[in-house]
Amino acid sequence: MIVQQTLTQLKNLGLDGMAHAFEEQITLPSSNGLPFEDRFAMLVEREAAYRNDRRLTRLLAKARLKYGQACLENLDTRVSRGLDARLLTSLGHGEWIERGQPLLISGPTGVGKTWLACALAQKACRLGKSALYARLPRLLEEMRVARGEGIHKRRLMALAKIEVLVLDDWALQPLEPYGREDLLEIMDDRAEKHATVITAQLPIEHWHGWIGDATIADAILDRLLHHAHRLTLKGESLRRSGKTPKTRTDPETIVTN
């Protein structure tokens, strides 16, 4: 009776991980021989792990990653696609996120830019950081619609809070005037505060011309290029080569942008 009351109270307090661990201890005879301090420490450890798992699940759901299973541990740096193993190891530690530094991933279509960006965003979620994946053309169109619906400012504020924002398909199509303005607002909100990952086929030296307006281009690139990490991937398109995903999910085996 006391055991059931304890379980009920733990669940009412939101300590589900501890409740499950307590039930396991009751059913395992080997737990009876452990000191109270050890058993209690095991309960606390299980609760912490349970909360971490739930938080990670929430962060990944909100991130809406195009490749949800992408992770740095499955990245094969032996592949000659311009992957800087030393830089990737550094990025995996997350200091660039804490410093709010941009990461620019460029290269031709199909070489793994999107997959790598998603892997880094997934790592950010595992570090307890919020992330969001968005295709830039679609995001700018959503921002245009938000203007008409009167929620434009609210959308900008929400984007500004994201700790790792992935902007995929950068410079894929011409910018409209409203797109330039929104892009400047997004970059200004994030500069030296939160990390931004950009994937683009267009080489970085041509971004100024793509933005179109020289003044706005200067402002955007000034906020974006300083202190940015750069990865330039190379190789043939996996789509054209006809390669299909294998068991190991790395840029050689995943068809991505």
Q: Are 45 and 72 found together in one domain? A: no
Q: Are 171 and 144 found together in one domain? A: yes
Residue 26 lies in a domain: yes
pLDDT score of 256 more than 50: no
Helices (H), the chain: 2-12, 16-27, 36-63, 85-93, 95-98, 113-126, 136-149, 152-161, 177-190, 207-211, 214-225, 238-241
Residue 252 lies in a domain: no
In residues, how long is the chain? 257
Q: Are 56 and 174 found together in one domain? A: no
Residue 223 lies in a domain: yes
Residue 251 lies in a domain: no
Q: Are 41 and 9 found together in one domain? A: yes
Q: Are 138 and 196 found together in one domain? A: yes
Q: Are 47 and 93 found together in one domain? A: no
pLDDT (mean) for 37-55: 80
The CATH number for 95's domain is 3.40.50.300
Distance between CA atoms of residues 132 and 121, nearest Å: 8
Residue 249 lies in a domain: no
More confident residue, 43 or 205: 205
**Residues 169-223: pLDDT tens digits?**
999 999 999 999 999 999 999 999 999 999 999 999 999 999 999 999 999 999 9
Residue 246 lies in a domain: no
* Structural domain boundaries enclosing 34: 2-61
Average pLDDT value over all residues in the chain: 86
Q: Are 72 and 47 found together in one domain? A: no
Residue 168 lies in a domain: yes
Domain count, the chain: 2
